[in-house]
Amino acid sequence: MTVRFADCHNDLLLGVTFQRDLGEPDLFGEFWLPQLLAGEVDLCVLPVYTEDWFTGEAALRRALTTIETARQVAVRHAHKVTLVTTAGQLREALDDGRIALLLAFEGMEPVGADIDLIDTFWHLGVRMASLTWNRRTPFADGLGERSTGAGLTELGRRAVGRMESLGMIVDVSHLSDAGFDDLAQVTTRPFVASHSSCRDVYDHPRNLDDARLRVIAERGGFVGQNALAEFVGGERTVDAFLDHVALAVVLIGAEHVGLGLDFLADTEAHSLPASAQPEPGFFIKGLERPADLPAFSQRLEARLGPDVARQVASGSLIGALERLLPR
């Protein structure tokens, strides 16, 4: 049986929106759709991320522009993809053979300190969100501020309550350890780490330690393993990435483990000047873009066995979203 894939973190909207600003109307159709089809991808979670230079009201405007880009993609390619906001829509897309796209926030900088805007973005289709990227926000400290030892603010606790009342999935990737611990105390619903690997395999602050991985699983959540070489560590190879996947499966069970691949090579090529491109070795050779996934599936099956490989490749994320999204 063919291994199909579901990715809990693909930043493609960043590059597609940037190119749209430059007058390229359909980078998604020209590049990303063929990639997703070649990679046998059934589902992508698409972060709405605002770069450092978009602050305050500019971040809000950029987020709205990015969401409009996603809407245009879905309209232009309705025969192949669909934006989903409910478990029913997700199942319908999968049954129809269309790629399901789910909007998420990677950092809630566009919300500022106005938690009512969480409702606004919910109505615009955002169904998953992290309180921060690596920065400090009115809601929490990201891991870039971890030396302060700060976690969620009081406003952040209220924001989590608002998200849960709506049904928006809370994402802990990029939170500081203190922020994770605070969030674990105040949440009442399962939460996820959309793109975080195992700190016990490679000691990087973007990865999660065993105890926090177990907390996510005990709450009924999901962890997407991140294939960005900086977080994989070791020799930065496909096998090194599989070490993270295999440990997570042993620690918390395959039903809680999937992929949040963070394919940035092409996104950065589409959105950064040549002088700002990452150094060689920033990405894992052979696992840089969706079209690499069919070959990767053979390595995944060899390491985990076919049944667990299919669970990790797509079953766990799809199952989690079908449980956590509104009906």
Rounded Cα distance, 170 and 147, in Å: 23
| Residue 50 dihedral angles phi and psi, to the nearest 5° | -110, 125
Q: pLDDT band for position 144 (50/70/90)?
A: confident
Q: pLDDT band for position 281 (50/70/90)?
A: confident
Rounded Cα distance, 101 and 32, in Å: 12
Structure tokens at 116: 């009512």
The pTM for the full model equals: 0.96
Rounded Cα distance, 192 and 224, in Å: 8
Rounded Cα distance, 14 and 286, in Å: 22
Angle between helix axes 238-252 and 210-218 (nearest 10 degrees) is: 50
Q: pLDDT band for position 51 (50/70/90)?
A: confident
Does residue 213 surpass a pLDDT of 70? yes
Does residue 141 surpass a pLDDT of 90? no
pLDDT at 275: 65
Rounded Cα distance, 207 and 230, in Å: 10
**Domain extent listing, the chain:** 5-324
In percent, how much of the chain has pLDDT > 90? Answer: 87
Q: What is the DSSP letter of 283?
A: S
Domain 5-324 has CATH 3.20.20.140: yes
Please name the residues in contact with 33: beta carbons below 8 A apart, sequence gap of 6 or more: 77, 80, 81
Structure tokens at 57: 């009201």
Q: pLDDT band for position 149 (50/70/90)?
A: low
Mean pLDDT, residues 51-71 = 93
| Residue 307 dihedral angles phi and psi, to the nearest 5° | -70, -45
Closest C-alpha to 104, from 71, 75, 82, 130 = 130
Mean pLDDT, residues 250-259 = 98
Closest C-alpha to 45, from 278, 327, 324 = 324
